[in-house]
Amino acid sequence: MAEALTILSEEEQMLYDSVFEFAEETIKPRRMEMDENQKMDPELIKSFFENDYMGIEIPDEYGGLGADFFSSILVIEALSRVDASCGVMVDVQNTLVINALKNWGSDYIKETYFPQLAGSKIGAYCLSEPSSGSDAFAMKTTAKDMGDHFVLNGSKLWITNGKEAEIFIIFANVAPEKGYKGITAFIAEAGFEGFQKGRKEDKLGIRASSTLELSFDNLKIPRENVLGEIGKGYKVSIETLNEGRIGIGAQMVGVARGALDAAIAYAKERVQFGKPIASFQAVQHEIAKLECEWEAARLLVYNAARLKDAGRPFIKEAAIAKYVTSEAANRIATRALELFGGYGFSKEYPAEKYFRDAKIGQIYEGTSFMQLNTIAKMVLAD
């Protein structure tokens, strides 16, 4: 008999299992306190670096793990199965910040920032503004060319990792009269003069993940810190977000699995009418449907990630993965909460946290509406 095919290789399964074991042992005891305090435990962040979770695709000569994109996806999924806030911190670092530098950074940028990102410093990706969300290229932040440096003025909103981050990819327009063709990507450090961190958002979910407003008042950025070409920042943002959406898909797969695991365990132990509620066919069918939905969502993420690593087109597949997983995570987390009954509404059990954490998947790094636009455009163009 032929050997059965598996979704993950032995090495990939070992990576996933090791990260999930770490999350269960190290993150789980802290997650409710972090959620309540809206703060990531600094010791956890330190352990992320020690375990090479923060530089997965950074080449080993710069101190990174030197692994592939799919490895990042597995790490994000495994962490998010326990806590989505931890998952998104690692996600933004790897699929947005590091991928942008890997694809667009000069030798100087890689030599300067890769060792820092792999070793101890957190990165953030600054695109959204108070007046530009889904219409990201309507940004108001400007950059004036001063020869050997640029001067930025404006603000950014909804910046994940903003509080902890020290390295920032900022998008600004060097020629507003040219519209999106003036947008340029820059790398700034928190210590640069004119860089100001603002208020922290008080959020529904992923509360331990910091989300900040940033402002720039004559922020001076050296010319060598231009990421990619001047006026080509729109390409940097679009291509990086296509990869980032697979990361969000992995996060949502993890959240959904965590919620479903909790519901299954509870259904086996909760006794009503003299027997566990898992023995009732209605509950069994509900769990079976959720398992099917989760499995399908996971395969979509893995497919998009495999395509990306293979150097094949993956934009449509990334949008599908982002859309389907975020919708699935919300349905699964909702049903999981309902299976807990009244206890699902209590912070004593994890169901309500998974429920809250799932919602952001339909919103950030491209709303579900925007994913549908992308999918429809590509399908109709075929």
Provide the 3-class DSSP secondary structure of residue 32: helix
Alpha-carbon gap, residue 363 to 361, rounded angstroms = 5
Q: Are 40 and 209 in contact (CB under 8 A)?
A: yes
CA distances from 250 to 104, 167, 246, 379 (A): 24, 24, 6, 23
Closest CA to 163 of 207, 117, 211: 211
Q: Which residues contact 249 (CB under 8 A, 6 or more apart)?
A: 297, 300, 301, 304, 318, 321, 322, 324, 325, 326
Residue 29: CB partners within 8 Å, gap ≥ 6?
none
∠ CA 288-16-249, rounded to 5°: 60
> Is the Cβ–Cβ distance between 93 and 121 less than 8 Å?
no
Report the sign of the C-alpha dihedral through residues 300, 304, 305, 307, in that order: positive
The pairing of beta strand 183-189 with beta strand 275-276: unpaired
350: phi then psi, degrees, rounded to nearest 5: -80, -10
Contact 28, 87 (CB under 8 A): no
First to last CA, the chain: 40
Neighbouring residues of 202: CB distance < 8 A, sequence distance ≥ 6: 38
**Of 170, 167, 166, residue with least CA distance to 184:** 170
Residue tagged active-site, from 213, 243, 327, 365: 365
Distances in Å between the alpha carbon of 309 and those of 128, 274, 303?
27, 52, 10
Q: Are the CB atoms for 246 and 95 separated by under 8 Å?
A: yes
Size of the chain, expressed as the number of residues it contains = 382
Q: Is 365 a catalytic residue?
A: yes
The residues carrying an active-site annotation are: 365
